[in-house]
Chains A and B, each alone.
Chain A
Amino acid sequence: MNYPGKGLVEGLAVTARNFVGSYFYKDRLTTVQYPEERIQTPENSRTFPFLVFDESPDKPRCTACKICEVECPPKCIYIVMDRDDKGKPLQRPKAFDIDISVCMQCQICVEVCPFESIKMDNDYEKSKYGRFNDLVQRLPDLLKSNDYYRQIKPVKAAEVDAKLKAEAEAKAAKKAAAVAAAAAKAAATPPAGSAT
């Protein structure tokens, strides 16, 4: 049946259904009462980068290779490599600053990092009162333990750990092989030497 005002009345019916339904069906309401309730962020969720260390903050995975600094699209990363007294590079950052007011959370630094050292956090509560200095994350702010990483992203962390373990084992095996080879060589050489 078609009568003038039918669409208007049907519209009223729809809103009435939603009005009543919102009291009875909790899933109709999408709002989260934020400070009391928090949504569990998905594994892939990302906010800002942080640096992973394994045992202690003195020994981050980062080697200050500056690949992320170069690849970062908005150029928000600043790295200075640590050097010892003689000026020899120490393979770790002395300064590692990320200006999160510039960072656009694109994850490219994470993807290009060859050492699995920079990872995306999922902490979305980073508001600060200051506009400039407060939003620059320095090295101590950025360093977080591997346990933390395992906690926020269990699946990925396990993959990374496995990969690093495999790499380390391969490296160790290679080293061992090299040592063994050297030993074998050394073992093989003296008789030759002694022969001469």
Chain B
Amino acid sequence: MIAAPSTIPAGGAITTQLLEISIGPQHPSTHGVFRMDVVLDGEVVRALKPVVGYLHRNHEQLAEKMSWLGSMPYTDRLDYFNSMSNNWAYALAVEKLAGIKVPERAEYIRVIMAELSRLQNHASAIGFLLQDCGAWGTPLLYAFKEREKILDFFETVSGSRMMCNYFRFGGVRVDLNDEMLAMARKIVAEFPKFLDEFEKLMTTNEVVLARCQRVGILPKELAIAGSISGPVARASGVEYDIRKVDKYGVYGQLEFGVPVGAVGDVYDRYYIRVLEMRESVKILQQVLRDIPAGPVQAVEVKLRGFKIPAGDGYGRVEGAKGELGFYLVSEGGPKPYRYHIRPPSFINLTVLEDMCVGHKVADAIIILGSIDIVLGEVDR
């Protein structure tokens, strides 16, 4: 709760007034139309209330009025940085509910897509974080340059750079031909070079260290209690990665590590993302080496008039931002009866105030940046 600005004693006989400022929704670094109601004592944050809903688009309600397939392109628009993993989570939920078996090649392609979107998401997330630190665009643009290559790949495969709409129930829409695989291999081979350069530019930079270390610490207990997931939780030392827990897709057969931090400050959240990108590169190398031949689409799934037996199911994936889940209830018809999303950005945002209170206003900005939210997913 935010008290009205009142006069409080702040040391000695001098009394100071609290300052209530509204950061957002048109603030340059709130990552979209997000608003923070901040109560400041000088420059120190005393209370912070996140205000969401400026980008509410009625996504869940729309999906309940639409065919099962019709919601697929809408999931692209949730977290518009990761349309591939959003697609996968929704497809996974539907496949669970309908009992569809996905061909192996399609599973491999799905891993390629998900890990590539994780790469570009993490790259731009840390770019944005450093932009919030005040680096004048350079790290962000280096990250975007690399992201551009991955988006080109997405365009070549699915036809669109960000709104891919690529996954289908029981497989994927387009098969990867040899040229596309070569393109993916090239991207994966070049990515570590970018990471090395980026790390040299920023990771040991004293200003970054001073700004990020011991700022916005999220304790492990709070992370668990707040249902925080993804890199934010792992930076706080929570050993939780759905790729390891659920072993969905072919993740059970792949070798990769999940980096876990200890302190849980902004720096850990930054560096965990860097390490995760390195692991993603390893996964991609394995997948691109082992991808089998075969169909990419289960034959029993019809495009039109697709119906699902009554029941409910929850499908989740380890999205780049955390656990992305779709809870679906079917009545046996062509539309979902209930369609609910567990958006990682939104749930990770709930601990924002706990992380920010006591820090400076500049820290609040980078703490928000380190959570890595996308407002399309927060407001839905």
Q: Does B174 contact A (CB under 8 A)?
A: yes
A46 CB–B CB distance under 8 Å: yes
Q: Are the C-beta atoms of B205 and A30 separated by less than 8 Å?
A: no
Least distance between A65 CB and chain B CB atoms (Å): 11
Question: What is the bound-complex CA distance between A10 and B198, given in angstroms?
Answer: 11
Known: A44-B156, A44-B158, A71-B67. A106 touches B208 (CB 8 A): no
Is the Cβ of A44 less than 8 Å from the Cβ of B159? yes
Contacts of A126 in B (CB 8 A): none
Q: Which of A88-96, A107-115, A170-178 contacts B (4 or more CB under 8 A)?
A: A107-115
What's the Cα separation between A63 and B314 when bound, in Å? 40
B159 adjacent to A120 (CB under 8 Å): yes
CB-defined A-B contacts under 8 Å, sample of 19 = A5-B206, A7-B203, A7-B208, A8-B205, A10-B200, A10-B204, A10-B205, A15-B201, A30-B148, A41-B155, A42-B156, A71-B67, A71-B70, A71-B304, A73-B74, A105-B160, A105-B163, A108-B69, A108-B73
Tell me the minimal C-beta distance from A126 to chain B in angstroms. 15
Question: Min CB distance, A101 to chain B, in Å?
Answer: 15
Closest Cβ neighbor of A72 among chain B residues? B70
15 extra interchain contacts, Cβ-Cβ under 8 A, other than A14-B200, A106-B165? A4-B206, A5-B206, A7-B205, A7-B206, A8-B206, A10-B200, A13-B200, A14-B201, A42-B155, A45-B155, A73-B66, A73-B74, A104-B77, A104-B163, A108-B72
A66 to chain B, nearest CB (A): 12
Chain B interface size band reads: 35 or more
Interface residues of A in 138-190 (CB under 8 A from B): none
Contacts of A6 in B (CB 8 A): 204, 206
State in angstroms the CA–CA spacing of A108 and B306 once bound together: 14
**Chain B residues, Cβ within 8 Å of A30:** 145, 148
- The residue of chain A having its C-beta at the shortest distance from the C-beta of B197 within the complex is A14
Q: Does B4 contact A (CB under 8 A)?
A: no
What residues make up the interface of A, taking CB atoms closer than 8 Å to B? 4-8, 10-11, 13-15, 18, 30, 41-46, 67, 71, 73, 104-108, 111-112, 120
Closest Cβ of chain B to A108, distance in Å, is 7
Residues of A within 8 A of B66 (CB): 73
Taking the closest CB of chain B, its distance from the CB of A128, in whole angstroms, is 21
With an 8 A cutoff between CB atoms, is B71 at the interface? yes
Residues of chain B lying within 8 A (CB to CB) of residue A107: 159, 165
| A138 CA to B112 CA, complexed, in Å | 40
Alpha-carbon gap, A123 to B160, bound state (A): 13
Alpha-carbon gap, A147 to B209, bound state (A) = 59
Tell me the bound Cα distance from A46 to B156 in angstroms.
10
Q: Decide yes or no whether B202 CB sits under 8 A from chain A.
A: yes
By the criterion CB–CB under 8 Å, are A73 and B71 in contact?
yes
- 7 residue pairs, one from A and one from B, having the closest CB atoms: A106-B73, A7-B204, A46-B159, A73-B70, A7-B205, A42-B156, A44-B159
Indicate if the CB atoms of B70 and A15 lie closer than 8 Å: no
Contact with A along B178-208 (1 / 0, CB 8 A): 0000000000000000000100111111111
Q: A42-B155, A112-B303 are in contact. Are A7 and B209 (CB under 8 A)?
A: yes
Contact of B207 among A8, A14, A15 (CB under 8 A): A8
CB distance from B288 to the nearest CB of A (A): 19
> Contacts of B163 on A, CB cut-off 8 Å?
104-106
Q: Is B16 interfacial (CB-CB < 8 Å)?
A: no
By a CB distance below 8 angstroms, the chain A residues around B67 are 71
User: CA of A112 to CA of B70 in the docked complex: distance in angstroms?
Assistant: 11
Q: Which of B135-171 contact A (CB under 8 A)?
A: 138, 142, 145, 148, 152, 155-160, 163, 165
- Bound-complex Cα distance A4 to B66 (A): 60
B70 lies within 8 A of A45 (CB): no
B34-78 interface with A by 8 A CB criterion: 66-67, 69-74, 76-77
Name the distance in Å between A2's Cβ and chain B's nearest Cβ.
9
For residue B144, which residue of chain A has the nearest CB?
A30
B160 to chain A, nearest CB (A): 6
In Å, the complex CA distance between A112 and B347 comes to: 36
Q: How far is the CA of A73 from the CA of B92 in the complex (A)?
A: 20
A159 to chain B, nearest CB (A): 12
Least CB distance from A69 to B in Å reads 13
Q: In the complex, A182 Cα to B71 Cα: how many Å? A: 49
Q: How far is the CA of A39 from the CA of B206 in the complex (A)?
A: 40
CA distance A111 to B202 in the complex (A): 46
Please report the C-alpha to C-alpha distance between residue A65 and residue B98 in the assembled complex, in whole angstroms.
28
